[in-house]
């Protein structure tokens, strides 16, 4: 039996899922920047639109590239499941951005050293975003793998029991 973390097919799916996530992030940030900076749309509205577009992009890429063998569920049902998982991921992300961001900003402003060319707030924001993205990526992958794409065969999972 193989462990799900060491199964080559699952590792490939995870890497594809992560790559699709990068595409989604580019869409999310790009659309939000375009709407706020060019069309002067409020960030909350622009961020909502960009988030929804990124989810649709990620869903399409994941359904047809990461999980091409996932076709037993109706498209709309799978989209709703994917959207639900990603919205829950957003709910995980927001408190991380708020609380860790404030903590890191304060810590970096009080740090006895400075990194040239990068203000503490910029560094704190980017470190916080990186942490949030990594945590939510794992949530999104595993939650989608076991709910949205559970029609795709899982590798035989090795269970270890202590005697």
Tell me the C-alpha distance between 149 and 79, whole Å: 11
Q: Is there a domain that residue 1 lies in?
A: no
Reported as a single tens digit per residue, the pLDDT across 117-126 is 778 888 888 8
Reported as a single tens digit per residue, the pLDDT across 48-65 is 899 999 999 999 999 999
Q: Is there a domain that residue 157 lies in?
A: no
Q: Is there a domain that residue 90 lies in?
A: yes
Cβ count within 10 A of residue 74? 9
Q: Is there a domain that residue 2 lies in?
A: no
Q: Is there a domain that residue 56 lies in?
A: yes
Q: Is there a domain that residue 156 lies in?
A: no
The pTM score is 0.83
Non-local (6+) Cβ contacts of 115 within 8 A are 123
Tell me the C-alpha distance between 152 and 116, whole Å: 49
Percent of the chain whose pLDDT exceeds 70: 91
Q: Is there a domain that residue 133 lies in?
A: yes
The per-residue pLDDT for 10 is: 92
Tell me the C-alpha distance between 162 and 3, whole Å: 17
Q: Which domain holds residue 17?
A: 8-148
Q: What is the count of structural domains for the chain?
A: 1
Tell me the C-alpha distance between 139 and 89, whole Å: 7
Reported as a single tens digit per residue, the pLDDT across 63-92 is 999 999 998 899 999 999 999 999 999 999
Helix 43-61 to helix 75-95 angle, to the nearest 10 degrees?
130
Q: Is there a domain that residue 76 lies in?
A: yes
């Amino acid at each position: 039996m193989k462990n799900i973390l060491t199964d080559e097919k699952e590792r490939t799916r995870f890497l594809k899922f992560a790559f699709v996530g990068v595409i989604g992030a580019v869409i999310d940030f790009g659309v939000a920047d375009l709407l706020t900076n060019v069309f002067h749309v409020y960030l909350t509205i622009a961020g909502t639109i960009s988030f929804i577009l990124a989810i649709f992009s990620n869903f399409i890429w994941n359904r047809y590239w990461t999980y091409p063998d996932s076709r037993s569920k109706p498209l709309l049902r799978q989209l709703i499941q994917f959207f639900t998982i990603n919205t829950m991921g957003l709910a995980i992300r927001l408190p991380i951005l708020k609380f860790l961001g404030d903590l890191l900003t304060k810590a970096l402003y009080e740090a006895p050293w400075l990194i040239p060319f990068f203000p503490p707030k910029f560094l704190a924001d980017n470190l916080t975003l990186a942490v949030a993205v990594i945590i939510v990526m794992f949530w999104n992958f595993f939650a989608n793998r076991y709910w949205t794409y559970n029609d795709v065969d899982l590798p035989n999972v090795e269970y270890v029991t202590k005697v």
